Amino acid sequence: MRLPEGAIAGRTPGGRGGPPLAYVNARLLDPATKLDTLGGLIVRDGLIADLGPHLAKPGALAALGVEAIDCAGACLAPGLIDIRVQLREPGEEHKETISTASEAAAAGGVTTMVALPNTRPAIDDAALVESVARLARETSLVRVETYAAVTRGLNGKEMTEFGLLAGAGALGYTDGTHATTDAQLLRRALSYAKVFGKPVIQHPEEPGLARGAMNEGEISTRLGIPGTTAFAEIIQVERDLRLAELTGGRIHFSCVTTAEALRAIRDAKARGVGVTCDTAAHYFALNELAVGDYRTFAKVSPPLRREEDRRAVVAALQDGTIDAIVSDHAPHDQDSKRLPFAQAAFGTVGLETLLPVSLELVHKGELDLLEVLALLTVKPAKLLGLPDGRLAKGGHADLVLFDPAAPWKIDAKELTSKSKNSAFDGHLTQGRVKRTVAGGLTVHQA
């Protein structure tokens, strides 16, 4: 990770080689241990040195000679682990770079981004995994991990070198925003990935059916926009669950949006199939009405669904069917979005709005704060075998300090991301990041 502005290598408190730093008078929230208490946390050498209620007051630290930051009762939680981010670098640096995405992540309290391999070129070779890691070391404010492509050049035909890719650090395999459709190929991918203990991440849309630009239904008919039926998702998910069952491999569906697909996943989990899934914040916060009068910022893939489906997504978050919440950060420049709806690109930026939009679940009484944080931290981390996403002595000091009640009317123009295509432009939320700490250093401060 690059040093944030103003930090000095080996000198800045909290960072590697620097003096220790304490965060006191904070509401400590650790979903992994269900800790929710007023306390403090000491950071040393980029790691969490100590934490707990005994460090609540600045006075407790004076004796130790530790510099302390008074959090004034704000929530201090593990930094968010966002396991679905499109970085656009290499290849589309006019939309986003690892550097600008990391700034957006920092602004959103995200301390680990897991990148999709759908860059240009696609991340389908060990050397490219390493080059992303190197770029991240040099330019990113937060941790960056990456998936590798299932098939070369995302062509859906020839498998990549799963073993070498895993060796280079890839966390899983996915063809990104397109489903791996060839059943035999996916079967082999699921089988072979078992050797490396990695999941195959699947985009849940059967491409033959998913040719529309929004959810198929009353609104698409009114607007005259070609629709994509919810069955495109259900059919892909149901088939792939059978392949996971057949192979004993691990499949992870990303951005699940429909009641029926979630039901199928719930049932498969009960049968012991190796399946996990996530959804993106917009799928529980918005429905197809957000498309309104041809708003291309609300054009995402899979599409925003009916209100019934949105409610099913909330229910699946409540009952544990959904294992993680992602931003599905998909930056696009104006030329890709200021177009007639059918021609516009799919996707919304999401790193900076992930936390406040997810907190809506808490404010509406649908989940409690620790449950929502678990979906944003320890659960996605565990799913990919990452040690982070928890407040643990000796662990990375990756933290987010936030005020869960602060009101925020999201204004896309004010976002940090290089691209401003937010489906949440104008959305009213509660919850704002006050400070983000990665590797012990403050990478964002409101």
Partner 1 sequence: MSASPLAAIGFRPRHLLGIEGLSAGEISLLLDLSDSYVEQNRERGKKSTLLRGRTIINLFFENSTRTRTSFELAGKRLGGDVVNMSAEVSSIKKGETMTDTATTLNAMLPDVLIVRHPDSGAVKLLSEKVDCAVINAGDGTHEHPTQALLDALAIRRHKKRLQGLLVAICGDILHSRVARSNIHLLSTMGARVRVVGPPTLMPARIEAMGVEVFHDMKKGLEGVDIVMMLRLQTERMQGNFVPSVREYFRLYGLDYDKLKAAKPDALIMHPGPMNRGVEIDSEVADDVDRSLIREQVELGVAVRMACLDVLTRDLLASNSNGGGAA
Q: How far is CA 111 from CA 79, 135, 248, 383, 391, in A?
A: 5, 16, 32, 16, 13
Burial profile 94-127: b = 16 or more Cβ within 10 angstroms, e = fewer: ebbbbbbbbbbbbbbbbbbbbbbbbbeebbbbbe
For residues 366 and 206, what is the distance between their CA atoms, to the nearest angstrom?
31
Q: Taking CB under 8 A as the rule, does residue 33 contact partner 1? A: no
Closer Cβ to partner 1, 47 or 344, answer by number: 344
User: At closest approach, how far in Å is the CB of 346 from partner 1?
Assistant: 15
Element (H, E) at 98: helix 98-107
Q: How far is CA 169 from CA 163, 188, 209, 361, in A?
A: 10, 21, 34, 34
CB contact at 8 A, 428 and 407? yes
For residues 432 and 422, what is the distance between their CA atoms, to the nearest angstrom?
17
For residues 236 and 258, what is the distance between their CA atoms, to the nearest angstrom?
12
Size of the site for partner 1 (CB under 8 A): 22
Member of 137, 338, 393, 409 binding partner 1 (CB under 8 A): 338
Member of 221, 248, 320, 409 binding partner 1 (CB under 8 A): 221
Closer Cβ to partner 1, 59 or 208, answer by number: 208
Closer Cβ to partner 1, 222 or 413, answer by number: 222
| Catalytic pick among 328, 388, 398, 425 | 328
Q: Taking CB under 8 A as the rule, does residue 340 contact partner 1? A: yes
CB contact at 8 A, 286 and 328? no
Member of 3, 133, 342, 406 binding partner 1 (CB under 8 A): 342
Q: 169 phi and psi, to 5 degrees?
A: 115, 5
User: At closest approach, how far in Å is the CB of 419 from partner 1?
Assistant: 17
Member of 113, 154, 225, 298 binding partner 1 (CB under 8 A): 225
Stretch that binds partner 1, among 117-125, 176-184, 266-274, 342-350 (CB under 8 A): 342-350
Q: How far is CA 350 from CA 36, 40, 166, 205, 418, in A?
A: 27, 30, 27, 21, 12
Member of 10, 63, 65, 222 binding partner 1 (CB under 8 A): 222
Q: Taking CB under 8 A as the rule, does residue 5 contact partner 1? A: no
Stretch that binds partner 1, among 24-32, 83-91, 331-339, 382-390 (CB under 8 A): 331-339
Range 392-421, binding partner 1 (CB under 8 A): none
CB contact at 8 A, 357 and 345? no
User: At closest approach, how far in Å is the CB of 234 from partner 1?
Assistant: 15
Range 158-217, binding partner 1 (CB under 8 A): 216-217
Q: At what angle do helices 126-139 and 98-107 cross, to 10 degrees?
A: 60
309 is catalytic: no
Closer Cβ to partner 1, 143 or 337, answer by number: 337
Tell me the H-state helices in 169-286: 183-193, 218-223, 231-247, 259-271, 281-285
Range 235-254, binding partner 1 (CB under 8 A): none
Stretch that binds partner 1, among 93-101, 223-231, 322-330, 355-363 (CB under 8 A): 223-231
User: At closest approach, how far in Å is the CB of 219 from partner 1?
Assistant: 9
Member of 339, 366, 392, 430 binding partner 1 (CB under 8 A): 339
Stretch that binds partner 1, among 28-36, 341-349, 382-390, 431-439 (CB under 8 A): 341-349
Q: Taking CB under 8 A as the rule, does residue 234 contact partner 1? A: no
Range 270-299, binding partner 1 (CB under 8 A): 293-294
Q: How far is CA 299 from CA 59, 288, 339, 346, in A?
A: 52, 9, 11, 5
For residues 76 and 26, what is the distance between their CA atoms, to the nearest angstrom?
6
Member of 59, 224, 365, 394 binding partner 1 (CB under 8 A): 224
Stretch that binds partner 1, among 68-76, 218-226, 316-324, 409-417 (CB under 8 A): 218-226
Closer Cβ to partner 1, 137 or 338, answer by number: 338
Pick the closest to residue 245 from 209, 278, 270 (CA basis).
Answer: 270
CB contact at 8 A, 151 and 181? no
DSSP string, 168-185: HT---EE-TTS----HHH
Q: Taking CB under 8 A as the rule, does residue 333 contact partner 1? A: no
Q: What is the set of active-site residues? A: 328
Residues forming contacts to partner 1 in the complex (CB under 8 A) are 216-218, 220-227, 229, 293-294, 335, 338-344
